[in-house]
Amino acid sequence: ATDNQSVSPQPIGEVRARVALLSGCAQKLLAPEIHASTLRVLAQNGVEVVVPEKQVCCGALAAHTGDLKLAVRFARQNLAAFPTDIDAIISNAAGCGSGMHEYGLWLQGEAEETAGREFAARVCDIAKFLVQIGCRTPPAYPRRIRVAYHDACHLAHAQKVRSEPRTLLKNIENIELVPIRDADICCGSAGTYNIEQPEIAKRLGAAKARAVQETGADLVVTGNIGCMMQLQTHLERPIPVVHTIQLLDACYRQCEVV
C-alpha cells in the first residue's frame, strides 16, 4: 500500500481483479459491518481491494440539497484520491454510487470534466460487479428462509441495477426470494427527502413496510443504508433488514446473518 491507501484482506485463490472501495460517510458510522462484509466477500472472490485514505464524501448529499459547489469540491478531492490502475471503483451504497456516476455532469465545463467522466465510468455497485466477474457460489444458508429484496431507487432507477442483486440471492441454496408489491415505489428515504419532507416520507415508509410484511419474509435485503434505516423505522413486525453483501458474507462464513 502507498501512503494514501490501505489494503483489504488478501484475496483467496487467483487474483481476478483490483478495485478501490468508497468508504462513504453515514454508512461508515451507522453500519460499519457492511464494509467489513464487502471486504470479506471480495476477498472470497479473488479481488484485491484498496481503500484510499484521502477520499472524502462522494458529494451526493450536498447535491441533493442544492449545494453543487460543495459537491464539486468533493468530486475533485476524490479524483485526486482514487488510483487509476484499478478495474472498478466499488460502492455498496446506492445513493453514493448514483452520485459518483454524475461526476462528469457536476464537472461539466471544468478542467476536470474528462477525468470526472472517466471516474464515473469506473464506478460500479458491489452486486453488479460480483455478477460481472462471476460470483463464486457461497455455501447454503444455514436454514431455509424467505427473503424479500427491496429495490433502492438510487440503485434500480438511477443506476439501472435491478437483476444483479436478485441473481446473487437466487444462487444461494435455502433462500426463497419473494417479491414485494409495488416494488418500484420509493420507501421514502431518498437521500435527504425524509429530512426535508418528513410527512410524505413517513407515509411512503409505512406503505413500503406494509408491502414487505405482506410477503411473510423472514429477512429483508436491500442495497442502500438509507433504505435500511427507513424500513427498520416503519416495520411494525420486527423483521431483520440487511444489506445484500451481508447475506452473502454470512453464507461464505456459514453463519446466520443476524
Distance of CA 77 to the CA centre of its chain: 21
Say how many Å lie between the first and final Cα of the chain, rounded: 33
- Within 10 angstroms of residue 123's Cβ, the number of other Cβ atoms is 24
- Within 10 angstroms of residue 218's Cβ, the number of other Cβ atoms is 17
pLDDT in tens, 38-52: 999 999 999 999 999
Residues of the chain with pLDDT > 70: what percent? Answer: 95
pLDDT for position 126 = 98
Taken as a whole, the chain contains a residue count of 258
Contact 63, 98 (CB under 8 A): no
Angle at 124 between CA 120 and CA 127, to 5 degrees: 165
Q: For 12, which DSSP code?
A: S
| pTM across the whole model | 0.92
pLDDT for position 2 = 43
pLDDT at residue 175 greater than cutoff 90:
yes
pLDDT at residue 28 greater than cutoff 80:
no
d(CA 120, CA 128): 15
pLDDT for position 147 = 98
- Within 10 angstroms of residue 106's Cβ, the number of other Cβ atoms is 24
pLDDT at residue 99 greater than cutoff 70:
yes
pLDDT in tens, 113-144: 999 999 999 999 999 999 999 999 999 999 99
pLDDT for position 42 = 98
pLDDT for position 3 = 44
Q: For 134, which DSSP code?
A: T
pLDDT at residue 56 greater than cutoff 50:
yes
Distance of CA 120 to the CA centre of its chain: 16
Reported for 197-203, long-range contacts at CB under 8 A and 24+ positions apart, including other chains, are: 201/230, 202/234
Residues of the chain with pLDDT > 90: what percent? Answer: 75
In which band, very low, low, confident or very high, does the pLDDT at 24 lie, cut at 50, 70 and 90? Answer: confident
Tally DSSP H helices, then E strands, for the chain. Answer: 14, 9
pLDDT at residue 4 greater than cutoff 60:
no
Contacts of 227 (CB under 8 A, 6+ apart): 94, 150, 152, 187, 189
Could you give phi then psi for residue 190, rounded to 5 degrees? Answer: 50, 60
In which band, very low, low, confident or very high, does the pLDDT at 8 lie, cut at 50, 70 and 90? Answer: low
In which band, very low, low, confident or very high, does the pLDDT at 163 lie, cut at 50, 70 and 90? Answer: very high
pLDDT for position 200 = 85
Contacts of 214 (CB under 8 A, 6+ apart): 181
Residue of 7 and 236 predicted with greater confidence: 236
Cell of 132: 460481472
Q: Which residues of 131-156 are buried (b: 16+ CB within 10 A; e: fewer)?
A: bebebbebeebeeebebbbbbbbbbb
d(CA 120, CA 79): 10
pLDDT in tens, 228-251: 989 998 897 789 999 999 999 999
pLDDT for position 29 = 72
d(CA 161, CA 123): 13
pLDDT for position 5 = 62
In which band, very low, low, confident or very high, does the pLDDT at 1 lie, cut at 50, 70 and 90? Answer: very low
